Structure 1
């Protein structure tokens, strides 16, 4: 497998040099686990919701409506969202201030319940995410896919980055880089492929001391002439 130093050098050459590349990477630095653990669970539910609603919409549309989302969903209090009544759901479906997508509104309710379950199991949802090992990122993605709602694929990785958790995202450019490096032969679609991707990221992280987010972004920026 190609040393990460060589991949980094390729990305730096494409992006105007080492300093320019480091400046780009600095915009997405993860938070220390202790900082993630101190997050309020309502803010975690808010970020889940933001990335669920971003999917299929121009992000600016959601950002412009976000104040209305906060108000409509009780500031994303997990208890309030989890125990949403049918009447409250109906009111949300009539609220022109938000995006009235029934499946995604129901996802907020399901994810509120998920966070309450994590609180019961781990003391807080924030503690659960903070304590999960980065070396098993694919395991965390699997938890989100199975136990949360509407948090599969890229949305899960982007949500994790939003709360400060290191995450790789298998975008088109990242997949192209992984194929170039011989890690996989196609976009990873099953547990075996994802295990190979995780192993490669773990090796590059050990070599470079960089987190999953940085490695993912460097891979993406190493693509092209």
Structure 2
């Protein structure tokens, strides 16, 4: 690993570029709060991320009440059991973005949420009990067991619902490169775990959540 940079240096750069950086920091929920989030809200966040990917987020936000109605408030049991006729009706409904591949991924992700929920007594409990020092491992579970949840999608879903994770956004990767902590854009799980080690060291040094460290680094360069 490259020689670590003091996070105080990064924080100073972030505050110089964005004096409001503290106001931008994400809310981080406690394990009990995460465990209390019902399965339908996890599935809603997953599907929202899938439809946001490669699309204008503002449009998805405006249409989201329609998505909630069309997809039965994201009840994972109902969506996992729904037949092809149900999804064909969904694809004909103008209240959503009618992308067939993304629509059909809803059923797969409903099954993912249900399976982990049944194993752990709730999908939120599964997330809350995951080892906090292995967020990349949790991303991999989402990518392997869910549908269309590669790249930054898992981290973005988790961040939306308050799980403490860093995100490898373009600005974060640029920051890691700029401060000499990595020498290339990460592509594989091994490289992502090496970056995780950097963030965990900063967390130990500062006592701050990974989500705050990640956003501060992004603000230092972007």
Partner of 1:2: 5
Deviates more, 1:110-119 or 1:215-224: 215-224
Shift in Å at residue 218 of structure 1?
Answer: 0.8
Q: Is residue 174–residue 216 contact of structure 1 (8 Å, CA) maintained in 2?
A: yes
Deviates more, 1:179-188 or 1:73-82: 179-188
Equivalent position SS for 1:66: helix
Q: Is residue 183–residue 196 contact of structure 1 (8 Å, CA) maintained in 2?
A: no
Shift in Å at residue 21 of structure 1?
Answer: 2.4
Q: Note the 1:9-158 alignment, pairs <5 A.
A: 9-16=12-19, 20-25=20-25, 28-158=26-156
Q: Note the 1:178-189 alignment, pairs <5 A.
A: 178-189=176-187
In 2, the alpha carbon distance for the partners of 1:165 and 1:187 equals 24
Q: 1:219 aligns with which of 192, 217, 220?
A: 217
Equivalent position SS for 1:60: helix
The one-character-per-residue Cα deviations of 1:51-78 (angstroms, maximum 9, x if unpaired) are 1111121112112211111111111000
Tell me, which stretches of 5 or more residues in structure 2 are unaligned?
Answer: none
Shift in Å at residue 205 of structure 1?
Answer: 0.5
Shift in Å at residue 180 of structure 1?
Answer: 2.2
Partner of 2:192: 194
Shift in Å at residue 30 of structure 1?
Answer: 1.1
Shift in Å at residue 183 of structure 1?
Answer: 2.3
Tell me, which stretches of 5 or more residues in structure 1 are unaligned?
Answer: none
Equivalent position SS for 2:45: helix
Equivalent position SS for 1:134: coil
Alignment root-mean-square deviation, CA: 1.2
Equivalent position SS for 1:7: helix
In 2, the alpha carbon distance for the partners of 1:48 and 1:130 equals 16
In 2, the alpha carbon distance for the partners of 1:40 and 1:192 equals 32
Q: Which runs of 4+ in 1 moved over 4 A?
A: none
Deviates more, 1:193-202 or 1:5-14: 5-14
In 1, the alpha carbon distance for the partners of 2:29 and 2:170 equals 26
What number of residue pairs does the alignment pair up? 219
The one-character-per-residue Cα deviations of 1:98-120 (angstroms, maximum 9, x if unpaired) are 11111111111111000110012
Q: Is residue 134–residue 212 contact of structure 1 (8 Å, CA) maintained in 2?
A: no
TM-score of the pair, normalised by structure 1: 0.93
Shift in Å at residue 155 of structure 1?
Answer: 1.8
TM-score of the pair, normalised by structure 2: 0.95
